[in-house]
Amino acid sequence: MRHIFIVNPAAGKGSAAKRIIPEIKAYFEKHQDLSWEIYQTTAPGDGKAYTESIAKTGEPVRFYACGGDGTLYEVVNGAYKYPNAAVGIIPLGSGNDFARVFGGSDKMFDIGAQVNGETVAFDLIDAGGHVAINQCSMGLDAEVCAKQAYFKKLPGVGGEFAYTMSLFYCLMRRLKSEFKIVVDDKETYEGTMLFSLCANGRWYGGGYKGAPKAVPNDGLLDFVMVRKTVGRLKLAGLVGQYKRGEHLGWDFTTFVRGKKMQIFSKKPAAVNVDGECEYVTESTFQILEGALQVILPDKAAYLQTVGNDTDEKAPSLLK
């Protein structure tokens, strides 16, 4: 078994590599019987290309995404096609949204716990040429995601604050889209929407709980559709509720579960695939059940997190 740490030296505004590399080296100096290496990415897309180049050899390998959600996105897209590959997460970015499902455990940063952690098959979202492990969306929140990158570049602005700044910026601009949404090729929802969210994980935007009931290994995706029925001032006052995941109770929110979501827009609208954004008139998000082996350095913390608010799904979390 090879252990490969994919480190984004730009993550955490440059602090990621300085923090984790000495810990990796110290652990393997004490375990010289193990095969390991550190790879520092050099450009966007480099992490995916390197991960896939190793995974496709067929040898057993564990990749550890050392960075933020962007680093994880690249490692997942490089590894998911190969059953010999597993992915671990060492959250060192400014947002680290998907990693929140692991309960904030200190074992996420424990190299020994990562190396010896058991693996569980997680679902992924097929977004047409790319996959997401966390969330995909179309509409206002995707517009916010697209603008968030600009605010992150400002001094002292991290993931959550950047998302909040972008959210209020976008609330003052494009606020609605005309969508036709089809779930599992049968249920249709149509009208003026703020956004439509397809979720495998719970958090995005640096801590906004967009899909408070989502579980990454339950064989279902959570679909959240928020209609445009109130004005800007009312929406601005609801941001706190949205961040806490209380929006499923709004009378203009529709929440369903399924395996496929298609969104058709009358005009080009932003689409977000785990933080990667572009403008399109239609998108299809479909589940890839059990498509990726994910390392659990602290199984108890994960089960405690996803066991909350999961309704009937809880008994099958580690199927």
Residue 153 tokens, joined: 């570049």
Cβ atoms 71, 40 nearer than 8 A: no
* Domain shared by 273 and 137, yes or no: yes
* Domain shared by 6 and 72, yes or no: yes
Number of H helices and E strands in the chain, helices first, is 9, 13
| CA-to-CA dists, residue 277 to 25, 119, 271, 273, 280, angstroms | 36, 30, 6, 6, 10
Domain total of the chain: 2
Q: What is the pLDDT of residue 316?
A: 45
In sequence order, what are the residues at sequence separation of 6 or more whose Cβ sits closer than 8 angstroms to the Cβ of residue 94? 11, 12, 13, 68, 152, 158, 159, 162, 206
Mean pLDDT by 10 residues, the chain (319 residues): 95 80 97 97 96 98 96 97 98 91 94 97 95 93 71 65 71 75 96 93 90 97 92 80 94 97 92 89 97 97 82 44
The rounded distance, in Å, linking the Cα atoms of 30 and 28 is 5
* Domain shared by 201 and 232, yes or no: yes
Q: What is the CATH classification number for the domain harbouring 204?
A: 2.60.200.40
Q: What is the pLDDT of residue 150?
A: 60
Cβ atoms 95, 207 nearer than 8 A: yes
* Domain shared by 150 and 279, yes or no: yes
* Domain shared by 175 and 121, yes or no: no
* Domain shared by 157 and 280, yes or no: yes
* Domain shared by 265 and 294, yes or no: no
Residue position matching structure tokens 């520092």: 40
Q: Tell me the residue range of the domain where 48 lies.
A: 2-125+290-316
Q: What is the dihedral angle through the alpha carbons of 61, 63, 64, 67, rounded to the nearest 10 degrees?
A: 170
Q: Which helix (H) or strand (E) holds 187?
A: strand 187-199
Q: What is the pLDDT of residue 22?
A: 96
Q: Which residues of 85-117 are buried (b: 16+ CB within 10 A; e: fewer)?
A: bbbbbbbbbbbbbbbbbbbebebbbbbebbbeb
The rounded distance, in Å, linking the Cα atoms of 75 and 71 is 6
Q: What is the pLDDT of residue 319?
A: 45
Residue position matching structure tokens 């959250």: 91
The rounded distance, in Å, linking the Cα atoms of 53 and 77 is 12
Radius of gyration of the CA atoms of the chain, in A: 19
* Domain shared by 82 and 227, yes or no: no
* Domain shared by 137 and 275, yes or no: yes
Q: What is the pLDDT of residue 313?
A: 44
Residue position matching structure tokens 């570049």: 153
Cβ atoms 90, 258 nearer than 8 A: no
> CB-based burial of residue 211 (10 Å sphere; 0-12 exposed, 13-18 middle, 19+ buried)?
buried
Among 290, 301, 293, residue whose Cα is nearest residue 87: 293
Q: What is the pLDDT of residue 35?
A: 98
Cβ atoms 102, 90 nearer than 8 A: no
* Domain shared by 158 and 248, yes or no: yes
Q: Quick one: angle between helices 46-55 and 69-79, nearest 10? A: 30
* Domain shared by 98 and 34, yes or no: yes
Cβ atoms 260, 286 nearer than 8 A: yes
* Domain shared by 279 and 297, yes or no: no
Residue 219 tokens, joined: 């064989």
Q: What is the CATH classification number for the domain harbouring 28?
A: 3.40.50.10330
